[in-house]
Amino acid sequence: MRFLARLLTLAFLGFISLLWWRHLLWRNTAQNQGRLAMEDAEEDVPQTFDSLLHIQQLRKKALRSFCSERGKITRLPPTQQEASQALSSIMVDHKLHFLYCKTPATGVEGWERLLEMLLEKNVSLQLPIPHHQQFGSQKALSEYNRTSMEAIMQSYTKVMFVREPFQRLISAYMHGMADGLNFKEFVQYILYSGSRNRSMEWTPSVSLCRPCLVRYDYVIMFGFLDNEVRHLMLRAGLPENIRIPEFIDSKIRWTYRWLEEQMLSQLSLRERKGLCHFFRFDYHTFRFPRSLLWNLTCIPGSG
């Protein structure tokens, strides 16, 4: 029964992702008049260029405040091995001068397809690059020596993708990261297996992306990808005649809403609290406006 439900949901999600790229509603980037739901209530207020900028400022401010706490890694570690380890999820695009963190199931997959498309179209951006330095062609930042890492981090536009952690877990579960386990067992495995077998699929964003070290220019949130990526591209100087395919993350919202309720109901209070703790840095650093887990369990005094 549980298997069947999972299969059906998976089929549904598969279908939706298929739509993602086939549903090429080419829209003009200049018509950046879409809708974006932001931090609390203002779901249906059309967002302007300025308000999108404001959202970025708020997110970065929250990040800076998190990073000003004690014990955060804010500098590149001294040895090559440690530095490569710390930056192991960071990718670079040398043609368009982007550096981004590759957190699974946050929309970064669509972003990479977009970069490929721009590459195929031989698009270049009019970014003011401080030094026109050649860095080689490796795609992973960890493959560079520390000097080049620093230089790339200083000159490229740095982008981070985030998503509500419980949704990331559900996505990992749905995509077969938990062979033979039901969702409850999967959560127990994550909570009690320590850091030994931690997969990128559920490693907290803050640990994967090292935002205190990388100091991202842009933090993009799943659920709002369409507007936020367009905004970023406009700011980066994408020519106006280049059209970006639509992101459909906001359209699968209701599916996830339903899934979140179902999955959460399978967990004990102890397990829910365990997840709050496991993802505490992500929850505190990024305010996820529609987080069921946060609302029901993590907010002090709830649960």
Interface residues toward ligand NAG, by CB under 6 A: 40-41, 122, 124, 136, 145, 147-148, 193, 197, 290, 292, 295
CA 178 – CA 170 distance, rounded (Å): 10
The residue (of 122 and 265) whose beta carbon lies closer to ligand NAG is: 122
Is the Cβ of residue 68 or residue 145 nearer to ligand NAG in the bound state? 145
Rounded to a whole number of angstroms, the minimum distance from the CB of residue 124 to ligand NAG is 5
Ramachandran assignment for 102, one of left (phi > 0), alpha (psi -120 to 50 degrees), beta (any other): beta
CB of 283 to ligand NAG, least distance (A): 12
Q: What is the C-alpha to C-alpha distance for residues 280 and 98, in angstroms, rounded to an integer?
A: 28
Name the β-bridge partners of 91. 100, 140
CB atoms within 10 A of CB 22: 8
CA 62 – CA 39 distance, rounded (Å): 13
Question: What letter does residue 224 receive in the DSSP assignment?
Answer: S
Q: How far is the CB of 288 from ligand NAG (least distance, A)?
A: 9
Does an H or E element contain 109, and which? helix 108-120
Question: Whose Cβ is closer to ligand NAG: residue 193's or residue 268's?
Answer: 193
Return the number of the residue (31 or 193) whose C-beta is nearest ligand NAG.
193
- Provide the minimum distance between the beta carbon of 1 and ligand NAG in the complex, in angstroms, as a whole number: 26
What is the Cα–Cα distance from 284 to 240, expressed in whole angstroms? Answer: 37
Closest CA to 104 of 196, 26, 177: 177
Least separation in angstroms between residue 297's CB and ligand NAG is 12
Q: What share of the chain is helix, strand, coil (3-state, %, to 5)?
A: 50, 10, 40
Q: Which is nearer to ligand NAG, 172 or 212 (CB)?
A: 172
Residue 193: CB minimum distance to ligand NAG, A: 6
Nearer to ligand NAG by C-beta: 59 or 231?
Answer: 59
